[in-house]
Copies of this chain bind each other. A is one copy, B any other.
Amino acid sequence: MVGMTDTAQQKLRAQPRLTRQDGSPIRIVVVDDEQSLADLVAMGLKYEGWDVKTAANGQQALQAVREFRPDAVVLDIMLPDIDGLTVLQRLRSAGFDVPVLFLTAKDSLDDRVAGLTAGGDDYVTKPFGLEEVVARLRGLIRRTATAAEESSVLWVGDLMMDEDSYEVRRGGKQIDLTATEFELLRYLMRNPRRVLSKAQILDRVWSYDFGGRASVVELYISYLRKKIDTLGPPMIHTVRGVGYQLRAAE
């Protein structure tokens, strides 16, 4: 990837890649006792070009942070040994300011977790979609000094998305999106001009435990079209037998 010609990169990746201040890759520690889930998240983050270490319990987590000095931590609340919130506490008292993204089951959504965002941390409820985890992590990292600055605003042609305020506009006109529509559009806007298969979209935007068919993607694409493509020349294009593509109208 290092020496890849700018032109080829640029064309597909209009958005700059998030890196540390010195340009080296973002580092993340993923903590979950369920091996397969930790691996899933880890692979998803590596796909972003980030460096990832995994840990299976609180002890390993603390050690991993000490050694690896990550830019953020993905931390399951339920751990076999030390409670996730206690891990956070110990990290803080040891002087680590690294932001933490918690993973928590929806029903056990503790009141204590709700107060996390005040401290600069954040949480995501299981089951989650990978895009959401990545987006939350980018948000956390962006708000700290560890990363090269990056705006929270995405642009594709005259289409704008502010990931922080959840605002979407096309040519100044505001667009109301549901949560799922927003996630889908974000994925498309992060990969402009690139043809994304329904399987890819399903895997990235929908939760890992979603058993349904790929036809939901068609449905939500049609929703987006009604809200976006009606405001100007079409931007969402079907590549029959392959997938969908978002690009600026010529």
Chain A interface (Cβ < 8 Å from any Cβ of B): 1-5, 7-8, 11-12, 35-36, 39-40, 42-44, 46-47, 89, 92-93, 97, 111, 114-121, 123, 130, 143, 145, 148-153, 162, 164-167, 178-179, 193-195, 197, 199-200, 202-204, 208, 210-211, 239-242, 245, 247
Contact = CB atoms under 8 A, between A and B. Distances in A.
A130 to B, nearest CB: 5
Given A2-B145, A43-B97, 18 more contacts: A1-B143, A1-B149, A3-B148, A4-B150, A4-B151, A8-B151, A8-B153, A11-B162, A39-B93, A39-B119, A40-B118, A40-B119, A43-B118, A116-B203, A117-B200, A118-B200, A118-B208, A166-B239
Given A47-B143, A118-B203, A211-B111, A166 B195 contact: yes
B195 A165 contact: yes
Nearest to A92: B39
A92 to B, nearest CB: 5
Contacts of A40: 115, 118-119
Nearest to A47: B120
A149 B3 contact: yes
B114 A36 contact: no
